[in-house]
Amino acid sequence: MRLNILKLSQPVFSGAPLVTHEGAPAVVISAGEQLRRSVLACMLWEDQFYEDGVTIAERIAALVPRVEAGKVAVLAIEAREKMKLRHAPLLLVREMARYATHRGLVAETLARVIQRADELSEFLAIYWKDGRQPLSAQVKKGLAAAFTRFDAYALAKYDRAGAVKLRDVLFLTHAKPLTADQSFTWRQLVEGTLPSPETWEVRLSRGEQKREVWESMLIENRLGALALLRNLRNMQAAGVDPELVRYALEVIRVERVLPFRFIAAARHAPQWEPWIEQAMFASLSGQLRLMGKTILLIDVSGSMDAKLSARSEMPRMDAAASLAVLLREIAEEVSIYTFSDALAAVPARRGFALRDAIGHSQPHGGTQLSRALNELRERGDRLIVITDEQSHDRVPAPKYGRGYVVNVASYGNGVGYGAWTHIDGWSEAVIEYIRSVETAA
């Protein structure tokens, strides 16, 4: 998502008592803890961050000068490399560049967090949000160092029309090529003569036969995991050899792909579901354990059959099921329940069988969350509720352990505040967010 509409300000911190969304007294934590929590929260709605998360951006901007430079730099790197965020780390570095106390770490941190060629121009869009201004020496140094890491393919792929172009970054930073080949590539970039990258999008746009395109990409192992999963139904429609698909699903790198991607792929290409499921299990094999006992309570009311958003094809129910699949594999101990008009225990299944058991656990009726919480007797270290928050009854505080409400609807008025940790929006990083919050507590 392009971020040219971000508006930041430096809010003044008053002496007024801190309160939660619903007006309850909030726990006072350090500026560093506040910054970490604000940045971690960005992973939950990064696609909407600069449109609807302006207050979070303002909070981050105000907190950066109150936190030691080294800690901000470490957080920016963690957010990019561990949390896989793109925009929040760039915002952190931009705010570091404003302050003499933080500028000394800008170049090194910026070069580290820029990992895609389009992030070079994206950073400048953030830097110039309030109007064009000279780049600091540290910013130039960091951008120049990052620029040298991208080859002709990466530069051509992200050499897009926009307010800030890649060649603008090159001119402004006075980056020096490391080799004669790189010098030639940069000259092509400036002249607009870089060869088009041989991506599947480019090849299909040229009118090549779909089956030939997909099969050659599979044979040459030139599709990333997400591109493969998202295009399985297109491959099916084009009549691609199933054995090529099976082999591709066996060898792709899936360590960064979490269950909802596989669930979505299986929904659109069910004939390849066994292979998709095996790839999903492979993606979870290296996940960190979530220690303690987790109780997962999933909303299966009628409204959970709706889509996550107007732009998404994924039902809310699938998003909820993907978290259950993940927890079944990585939680030290987990119990899974559903609620609608009743509370129902879900059998101890895994993978797509668990997804099916959740969907078939009970009729999809009303949203009696309070009733389910009152009837739930099992204790745990944490209780995670996944819901669209259209509850018919007043929701009590969690009885045992930490309580989390994950809202998989879009920006509706919710019920999970007060004693609950409220998570708006859906992301593949919800569990990492929970783990990080509990580690920092």
> What residue segments make up the domains of the chain, in order of their start?
31-191, 205-284, 290-440
Tell me, what's the pLDDT at 5?
A: 30
Tell me, what's the pLDDT at 12?
A: 35
Q: How many CA atoms lie within 13 Å of 113's alpha carbon, on the beta-carbon side?
A: 30
Exposure string (b/e) for 21-56, b if CB count within 10 Å is 16 or more? eeeeeeeeeebbbbbbbbbbbbbbbbeebbeebeeb
Tell me, what's the pLDDT at 206?
A: 87
| Full-model pTM | 0.70
Token readout for 5 is 């509409």
* Positions of the chain with pLDDT lower than 70, given as ranges: 1-29, 40-55, 309-311, 389-393, 409-418, 424-429, 440-441
Tell me, what's the pLDDT at 439?
A: 77
Cβ burial of 17 (10 Å; 0-12, 13-18, 19+) is exposed
Rounded distance between C-alpha atoms, residue 358 and residue 298, angstroms:
8
Tell me, what's the pLDDT at 67?
A: 96
CATH code of the region 290-440: 3.40.50.410
Which of 306, 361, 360, 365 is CA-nearest to residue 340? Answer: 365
Q: Identify the three-state secondary structure at position 19.
A: strand
- DSSP-assigned letter for residue 378: -
Tell me, what's the pLDDT at 285?
A: 87
Is residue 366 a contact partner of residue 301, using CB atoms and an 8 Å limit?
Answer: yes
